[in-house]
Structure 1
């Protein structure tokens, strides 16, 4: 438990909330998956990593797939927030905001081969765990919605048409995901800077009516 010093100089203990403990267990699960891949999806391994009993994991999550899905939520939400922060920090024009999104998508934070193993574990559970499937669908929907907003703002500012913004955003998402996966499997196939240019070329096609 964390120790907190109050103004009068008396020390008191701050009791962790259930959500604090769940967060710690979720982060421990992520570390185990990074270190051990599928072998890290183990109550015993995660309990050892977190320094707790296996019973505490059962108490907070019931079963291992619930914990792994929660770990996925932590990771995917963190990545999306990093993307959105880059957009928020950019110059407040639709073009600059979209450029910022593209640039951070190819930054070392996301273009990291070590992350691929974590995603492979998560993807493998989607077909067998309803909880994991729901988490993945939520993550994907939030990501596509963010891209919809960026592309829609660009179209409105520059006066070009997009017939179906949802399908347009899905196409751009597929381009980004495909490039990320191709690079993770073989970093020699292209440089991140080249990936950025491919995305900008796609946006130029959008301007010229590819999805009008």
Structure 2
């Protein structure tokens, strides 16, 4: 290739490069898991040098924190999209909210592996734990907002909203783990139906 025909170099912003590394880390977690994840594997997966990772992130903990945000944002974005398409009645919105996380895209083994691996990482990495709690609270706040609509429509008690939110959040975490263990569609549907029945009963 001559000087005149050489392709111009493509320059990427720091934000674009970070996003590229985070996405590569997410796919590496799906393939090899948290215990075997290294900066070298991420570099190989994204076809970039190790230097790019060390330049854009202070350490692997920061990469994992941002990867957790990325994985959770995929679920949150899908949840809000499903909410916007659902019926406007509060109980139908609740069904859409609960159901999104158990749609085929989020029950794939590779996605669940990332979530469970990052839950495990949060046990020993404070930064990841803080991020996990932050995202949990955001998801819970969205759930409470919908439950408040149900309560207002049915003239329920404010205290019941907190009870239901805590119970439903614990149930959802359990259902993800149970699905990873047994892959039982019936048990998963029963768990989600149980959440709706509890709301209707209370």
TM tier, shorter chain? 0.7 to 0.9
What does 1:136-151 correspond to in 2, within 5 Å?
136-151=132-147
Q: Aligned-pair distance for 1:97?
A: 0.9
- C-alpha separation in 1, matches of 2:34 and 2:183: 23
Matched, 1:194 2:190: yes
Whole-angstrom CA distance in 1 between matches of 2:50 and 2:162: 43
CA shift in 2, pair 1:167/1:197, >3 Å: closer
Structure 2 unmatched runs, 5+ = 1-6
- Structure 2 vs 1, CA of residues 151 and 80 (structure 1 numbering), >3 Å: closer, same or farther? same
Shift of 1:103: 2.6
SS for the counterpart of 2:156 is coil
Higher relative contact order (CA 8 A, sep 6+): 2
Following TM superposition, the consecutive aligned residue runs of length 4 or more in structure 1 with deviations greater than 4 angstroms are: 11-14
| Corresponding residue of 1:152 | 148
- Cα distance change on mapping 1:31 and 1:100 into 2, 3 Å: same
Partner of 1:69: 65
Q: Which residue of the other structure, out of 78, 81, 84, is the alignment partner of 1:85?
A: 81
Match of 1:102 in 2: 98
Tell me, which stretches of 5 or more residues in structure 1 are unaligned? 1-10, 207-212
- TM-score, with structure 1 as normaliser: 0.84
Structure 2 partner of 1:7: none
* TM-score, reference length from structure 2: 0.88
Is the CA contact 1:25–1:46 (under 8 Å) kept in the aligned structure 2?
A: yes
For residue 188 of structure 1, report the CA deviation from its aligned partner. Answer: 3.4
1:15 aligns with 2:14: no
Equivalent residues of 2:175, 2:188 under 8 A apart:
no
Q: Decide which structure has greater helix share.
A: 2
Contact 1:41–1:68, Cα closer than 8 Å, also in 2: no
> Aligned equivalents of 2:129 and 2:151: distance in 1?
32
Name which of structure 1's ranges 58-67 and 37-46 shifts more when overlaid on structure 2.
Answer: 37-46
* Distance in 2, Cα, partners of 1:146 & 1:21: 31
Residues 82-113 of structure 1, C-alpha deviations (whole Å, 9 max, x = no match): 11111111122212211211232321122233
**What whole-Å deviation, never above 9, does each CA across 1:4-36 have from its counterpart, x for those lacking one?**
xxxxxxx98773221111111000001101001
The alignment covers a number of residue pairs equal to 196
Q: CA RMSD in A?
A: 2.1
